[in-house]
């Protein structure tokens, strides 16, 4: 008996939650001028729950008939409402039908699913203005990029063979393409975060999210801006350091997907490098010239088919090189490949080494190779700023990056 009351209570809570959002959304409508409000949605959820309980005794057809009858009632109410005020939106009607279903689901004992679905439903309903604003800002090429991303991940990925091919069976089509999807997905997060927040809101925001999309691209853009905006170089230096520092947790995320067993050894060096980088940010922000005007930077769409294919080819090359050099020259060969790869990209070598560590490669050697790639890539970013800017911004960035690399090296030597 108590379990039954508990299920009814969850159903009631589901209805109240959705009803609160719908009631607030239509708060301007007078009494009797809306399809459903707070009380009605609570009653709808209870109605679904009670009919679901009756169906346990009388048969599933009872629940189906009750839902169809309720759907007819909702449709009739919507038609009358649309004829009176010319509002043809069906969001509230759909929410009512969904509330009935969630109430029935709660009565069947699926309390977690019903509760989580109610939270998601209320959130989606409440985010209408923001979601519409995002759609208005979205360009056609970005919409196509999303569709392409879905094609390579949802359609193409599942049909690829999940077995090794080539020398040493080092090339697994499924794993390679999954890693391409992973990197494209991380880049998507950074790109759309900048598009939604707007890079004009601050160099710090751009540096943080731009580091997810491409820390090297942010470094190049800020270095060029620093050469043109002398009074804002400290602020731009902070943006470069923040973008570069974002690389370290991104690498940890990649490793956690491919080989979680490396995380205990790799966390200390990479997080240590991140902390050392971020410690300089308050000083740079305090010393920055607030009156400096900086133009917004443009982060290119992170997903186009050709760049994705190029990254896939780079990943294949790095996988083969890492496997070959490790087989031929041992760990020393792997370190050489890591250093060379780190000049242009850390993602490919990080994913490749983490994958190798699931087999014969020693975990200590894998961590050292990843840290080498991170150190080389960090120094290369510092050199980019030094070559392009050649001023205050250059020594600010390079001094922080030298400390970052020193910290990562020291932590690796003493902990790995």
Q: With 70 as the cut, is the pLDDT of residue 402 above it?
A: yes
Residue 271 has pLDDT above 90, yes or no: yes
pLDDT of residue 14: 85
Q: Within a domain: residue 132?
A: no
Instruction: Let me know whether 210 and 300 are in one domain.
Output: yes
Residue 240 pLDDT > 60: yes
Residue 104 and residue 63 in contact, taking contact as beta carbons nearer than 8 Å: yes
pLDDT value of residue 389? 78
- Helix, strand, or coil here: 181? helix
Domain identity same for 117 and 152:
no
Kindly state whether residue 293 falls inside one of the protein's structural domains: yes
> 348: number of CA atoms within 13 Å, CB side?
25
| Average pLDDT of the residues of the chain | 76
| Residue 273 confidence (pLDDT) | 92
Assess whether pLDDT exceeds 50 at residue 117: yes
pLDDT number for residue 406: 93
Read off the pLDDT of each residue in 215-241 and give the average, rounded to a whole number.
74
> Are residues 153 and 212 part of one domain?
yes
Angle between helices 363-388 and 203-228 (to 10 degrees): 50
Clarify whether residues 271 and 250 are in a common domain: yes
The answer to whether 322 and 315 are in contact (CB under 8 A) is: no
Would 265 be classed as within a structural domain?
A: yes
Residue 147, domain member (yes or no): yes
Mean pLDDT confidence for 144-172: 70
DSSP character at residue 200: G
CB 213 within 8 A of CB 177: no
Instruction: Give the HSE-up count for residue 93: Cα atoms under 13 Å, Cβ half-sphere.
Output: 17
Domain-embedded: residue 131: no
Confidence of residue 89 (pLDDT cuts 50, 70, 90): low
Same domain? For 24 and 55 the reply is yes
Q: Are residues 271 and 404 in the same domain?
A: yes
Which of 9-13, 91-95, 253-257, 326-330 shows the lowest mean pLDDT across its residues?
Answer: 326-330
Which residue would you say has higher pLDDT here, 294 or 254? Answer: 254
pLDDT at residue number 374: 92
Domain closes at, from 95, 126, 157: 126
pLDDT at 291 over 50: no
| Residue predicted with more confidence, 110 or 217 | 110
Same domain, 198 and 309: yes
Q: Does the pLDDT of residue 297 top 60, yes or no?
A: no
- Percent of the chain topping pLDDT 70: 68
Residue 155, judged by CB atoms within 10 A of its CB (0-12, 13-18, 19+), counts as exposed
Give a yes or no: residue 372 inside a domain.
yes
For residue 72, pLDDT over 70 is answered with yes
Indicate the pTM of the whole model: 0.58
Question: Angle 392-415/233-258 helices, nearest 10 degrees?
Answer: 30
Q: If DSSP codes are grouped into helix, strand and coil, which group holds residue 171?
A: strand
30 and 176 co-located in one domain: no
Domain final residue, candidates 103, 126, 149: 126
Average pLDDT in the 84-96 region? 71
Considering the domain boundaries, does residue 9 fall inside one?
yes
> Does residue 174 lie within any of the structural domains?
yes
34 and 145 assigned to the same domain: no
Q: Nearest to residue 229, comparing CAs of 284, 279, 296?
A: 296
**pLDDT tens, position by position, 321-363:** 766 766 676 677 888 888 888 877 787 788 888 888 887 778 8
CB 245 within 8 A of CB 278: yes
Last residue of a domain, one of 74, 101, 126: 126
**115, 232: one domain:** no
Pair (144, 227) in one structural domain: yes
pLDDT: which is higher, 391 or 251: 251
Q: How many domains does the chain have?
A: 2
- Going by pLDDT thresholds of 50, 70 and 90, the confidence category of residue 403 is very high
228-232, 270-274, 294-298, 348-352: which has the minimum mean pLDDT?
294-298
Q: Are residues 143 and 122 in the same domain?
A: no
Looking at residue 200, its pLDDT comes to 46
Q: Can you give the residue range of the structural domain that contains 182?
A: 139-415
């Amino acid at each position: 008996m108590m379990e039954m009351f508990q299920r009814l209570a969850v159903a009631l809570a589901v209805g109240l939650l959705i009803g609160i959002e719908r009631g607030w959304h239509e708060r301007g409508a007078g009494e009797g001028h809306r399809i459903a409000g707070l009380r009605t949605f609570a009653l709808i959820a209870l109605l679904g729950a009670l009919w679901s309980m009756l169906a346990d005794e009388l048969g599933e057809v009872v629940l189906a008939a009750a839902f169809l009858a309720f759907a007819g009632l909702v449709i009739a109410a919507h038609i009358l409402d649309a004829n009176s005020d010319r509002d043809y939106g069906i969001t509230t009607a759909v929410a009512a039908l969904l509330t009935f279903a969630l109430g029935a689901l709660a009565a069947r004992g699926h309390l977690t699913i019903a509760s989580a679905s109610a939270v998601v439903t209320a959130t989606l309903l409440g985010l209408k203005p923001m979601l519409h604003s995002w759609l208005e800002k979205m360009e056609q090429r970005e919409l196509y990029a999303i569709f392409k991303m879905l094609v390579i991940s949802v359609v193409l990925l599942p049909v690829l063979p999940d077995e090794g091919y080539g020398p040493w069976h080092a090339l697994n089509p499924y794993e390679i393409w999954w890693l391409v999807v992973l990197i494209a997905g991380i880049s998507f997060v950074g790109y759309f975060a900048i598009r939604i927040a707007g890079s004009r809101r601050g160099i710090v925001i751009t540096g943080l999210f731009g580091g997810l999309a491409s820390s090297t691209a942010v470094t190049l853009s800020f270095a060029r801006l620093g050469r043109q905006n002398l009074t804002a170089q400290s602020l731009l230096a902070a943006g470069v350091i923040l973008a570069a520092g974002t690389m370290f947790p991104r690498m940890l995320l990649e490793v956690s997907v491919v080989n979680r067993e490396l995380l205990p050894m790799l966390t200390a060096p990479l997080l240590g490098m991140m902390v050392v980088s971020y410690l300089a940010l308050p000083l740079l922000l305090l010393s920055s010239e607030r009156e400096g005007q900086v133009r917004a930077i443009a982060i290119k769409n992170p997903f186009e088919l050709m760049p994705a294919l190029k990254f896939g080819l780079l990943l294949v090359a790095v996988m083969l090189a890492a496997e070959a050099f490790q087989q031929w020259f041992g760990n020393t060969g792997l370190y050489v490949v890591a250093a060379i790869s780190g000049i242009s990209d850390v993602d490919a070598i990080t994913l490749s080494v983490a994958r190798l560590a699931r087999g014969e490669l020693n975990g200590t050697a894998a961590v050292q190779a990843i840290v080498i790639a991170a150190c080389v890539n960090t120094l290369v970013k510092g050199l980019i700023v030094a070559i392009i800017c050649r001023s205050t911004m250059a020594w600010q960035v390079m001094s922080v990056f030298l400390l970052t690399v020193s910290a990562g090296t020291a932590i690796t030597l003493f902990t790995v």
